[in-house]
Structure 1
Amino acid sequence: MDIIGLLAQYEHGKFSNILLNNYFKEKETELPGLTRGEKGFITEVFYGTIRNVMFLDYSIDKRVKTIDKLWVRNLLRLSMYQIQFMNSDDAGVVYEGVEVAKLRGGTFIGSFVNGVLRSFIREKDEDIEKLLEEGREDIVLSYPKWFFDEIKWEHKENYLEILRSYKKIPNLSVKINKLNYNEEDFLALLGIKGIKILRKVEDVYYIDSGVILETSEFKRGQITVQDASSFLAAKYLDPQPGERILDTCSAPGGKAIAMAEMMKNQGEIIALDIHEHKLKLIKSRTKQMGIDIVHAELMDARLVDVEFGVESFDKVLVDAPCSGFGFIRKKP
């Protein structure tokens, strides 16, 4: 089960979204490849397990003193996630988990996994009731205590609503590349693919399906993933053709791409980041979009005055690092 391996890599410090994207790209080279349903299932279980890992680990540790092998813990985590949070057949999940355990660890491990999962099925509702009675909503919702307490302190009346909203899977948001595509063709494509528009914020469309990511239009850079907040940040800067603009903390490049389109690919955008792998992402995205005025550079934005001097740019976009709370839904 590939999800076990993905969880192990995440456990060792890899970024969840990059892990999953790279995994799907690797699978595209294999035949017959993953179906849309398989991709959806893997995405749901992988992200869902990460989002709820505190509750899942509590449920495991309540039943087991120690687990020496990480793959066994991850197998239990993803199995419990399906049982607790997905509309799954419990018996089927247990059977699948036991078969994987026997295949990788033998009969003894299979029996161990069977016992733990069946105990969880019998007692999971009682476990949650006990946690709530003890005031441990942070464990039920799988948030670090400090984070749970901070949100509760800042939003006393609706903190639970806010915390639960962070667990919801966000809708996909995209925009068209106006340099080589138009809205009429985009809307026609949505109709052909049976994709519904949930809402529109300026040029950003929130849609109900990820099928768009498998289209030739997306792969050619005529459609790109874009969040409304990053698009609006770019728009409010009011970039104009021919200007020289500095985009600090630029990765993954959404704002730079949006500005380049508004500038009709005329002028220059210097896109900074302090991580080499993120610069590669910016370069890859701009190339895909047919944009050549964005130049990604490895640099700490605090050193800009030393590198470029005074009045080197017409405008500067600063999307400074923050708490990151707003990305919890997208990058658990």
Structure 2
Amino acid sequence: MTTTPRRAAFDILLRIEKERSYADILLDHELTHGTLQGPDRGLLTELVYGVLRRQGTLDHVIDQFASQKCSRLERSVHLLLRLGLYQLLYLDRIPTAAAVHATVELAKTLAPRASGFINAVLRQADRERQNIRFPDPVNKPAAYLAAAWSEPAWLTARWLDQLGREEAEALARAMVEPAPFTIRANTLRTSRDELQARLAGEGITATPCRYSPDGVRVDTPTAIGRLASFREGLCTVQDESSQLAAIFLDPKPGERILDLCAAPGGKSTHLAQRMGNSGTILACDIGARKLRLIEETAHRLGITIITTRPVDGTKPLTDLQGERFDRILVDAPCSGLGVIRRNPEGKWWKSPADITALARTQRAILHNAAEILMPGGTLLYGVCSTDREETDTVIEDFLSEQGEFVVEDLRELFPSHRELFTDRGFFRSWPHRHGMDGFFAARLKRLS
């Protein structure tokens, strides 16, 4: 049975709402097994991610023009209004009449009693689009950013506290835009320049990353898995901020490294590259499926020094107590607030209470990792979060309880990257400043 991109988008958004499924997995399944062809595939992706990114603003508009508030609408009606409004307000290439007509026709199948209501709301929003009102940006800045740039109000309040009004809005703007698509050259098999040339031969335009010497930003839309250069293990997908974790841990050939929260393997394999595939890396995570992802990536890239083991880092590492490591990477589970451009559905599922619970988990993992680091060894703690509670506060709490550890100032160790570091010598990247995901890392040394 054939489907339309709008119907497929509705079905995916409905599953995300009902099941908390992930957009990328559902989209990949539809694009692989569905019947959409050509431009319809691109429209499906645009609709799903666009609605998820702009959901807060779309609901703000619905509340202005609908006789019922979003909280009282049937789920199918609510989703149809979001889909229709997104096309009206954000997709210039779709004529207004086509956007309204297609949405109403879909409503006749999915919510027939509400098709007239949906038609009226969309047409009024189109007529009144110049009169859409937002909270006062001076007197209610958190509410303004939440409504205008589609973020949870609790999150915009934290950004305001951390960055001030001007920068908080710049960040909010950046977070509703698509993230860059970045890959990492596998320097065990090629150089970055050679990879770019190979990509050019495959019809792909790419530019070097600014901060990672191994990173390449892909500018041509592509299904990376179909490229021969990817299948041959010349590259792998990894954001530039994530690539910098291995660089700042700075492993040496022959060392023994632990990656405690390693799946899906991007950082483990990058560590192996930086070591010239010489030494040993123990990559740990929970569950066999996650470990298989690491093994598959290592095999594709031709890396032989990685072994995997199931480990729950939140519990005492009794299975590892007899082992000692020169360097440890703790890429802890976190809120993902630094990557909500990539996973926009996640920002609507989180709350401040979740951040507090995650910070407890992060502290537990960090303390457990510290027990098995060699004297004189180096530990890098990292999270893809912008929130202080998961970053600076975790490190300060750790240092207050672990007298054997000190912060190593990244400004002194990597002066060429100085603009990425805080006054404490921590790494903190911002999408609006640096063009990459929000990431935090602190490098700690265990005293001899």
TM over 0.5: yes
Give the counterpart letter for 1:261 in structure 2: Q
Counterpart residue number, 1:272: 284
Deviation at 1:303, TM superposition (A): 3.4
> Which piece of structure 1 moves more, 167-176 or 54-63?
54-63
**Does residue 60 of structure 1 match 2:62?**
yes
Matched position secondary structure for 2:317? helix
Counterpart residue number, 2:207: 197
For residues 89-142 of structure 1, the C-alpha deviation after alignment (integer angstroms, 9 at most, x for no partner) is 211111111222223344x44333222211221223322356769843122222
**Does residue 255 of structure 1 match 2:263?**
no
Counterpart residue number, 2:164: 156
**Does residue 167 of structure 1 match 2:176?**
yes
Give the counterpart letter for 1:20 in structure 2: L
Distance 1:198 1:181 in 2: 14
Unaligned 5+ runs, structure 2: 1-6, 345-448
Counterpart residue number, 1:224: 236
Cα gap change, 1:276 to 1:164, in 2 (>3 Å): farther
Counterpart residue number, 2:429: none
Matched position secondary structure for 2:315? helix
Distance 1:294 1:38 in 2: 41
> How do 1:95-244 and structure 2 match up within 5 A?
95-106=101-112, 108-129=113-134, 135=140, 136-137=143-144, 138-158=146-166, 159-192=168-201, 193-197=203-207, 199-200=209-210, 201-211=212-222, 213=224, 214-244=226-256
Cα gap change, 1:123 to 1:298, in 2 (>3 Å): farther
Matched position secondary structure for 2:325? coil
Give the counterpart letter for 1:208 in structure 2: D
Matched position secondary structure for 1:202? coil
Cα gap change, 1:153 to 1:183, in 2 (>3 Å): closer
Please, which of 44, 47, 51 is the counterpart of residue 46 of structure 2? 44
Distance 2:137 2:248 in 1: 45
Deviation at 1:317, TM superposition (A): 0.9
Distance 2:154 2:80 in 1: 28
Cα RMSD between the aligned structures?
2.8
Matched position secondary structure for 1:245? strand
8 Å CA contact retained: 1:5, 1:71: no
Distance 1:175 1:60 in 2: 42
Distance 2:182 2:257 in 1: 25
Unaligned 5+ runs, structure 1: none
Matched position secondary structure for 1:239? coil
Cα gap change, 1:152 to 1:181, in 2 (>3 Å): same
For residues 215-248 of structure 1, the C-alpha deviation after alignment (integer angstroms, 9 at most, x for no partner) is 2222343221112222221123233344332112
Distance 1:292 1:13 in 2: 37
Matched position secondary structure for 2:117? helix
Give the counterpart letter for 1:42 in structure 2: L
TM-score, structure 2 as length reference: 0.65
8 Å CA contact retained: 1:76, 1:113: yes
Counterpart residue number, 2:293: 281
8 Å CA contact retained: 2:135, 2:147: no
TM-score, structure 1 as length reference: 0.85
Distance 2:47 2:162 in 1: 31
8 Å CA contact retained: 1:173, 1:227: yes
8 Å CA contact retained: 1:212, 1:218: no
8 Å CA contact retained: 1:176, 1:182: yes
**Does residue 315 of structure 1 match 2:317?**
no
Distance 2:114 2:228 in 1: 45
Matched position secondary structure for 1:128? coil
> Which piece of structure 1 moves more, 136-145 or 264-273?
264-273
Counterpart residue number, 1:73: 78
Distance 1:187 1:42 in 2: 29
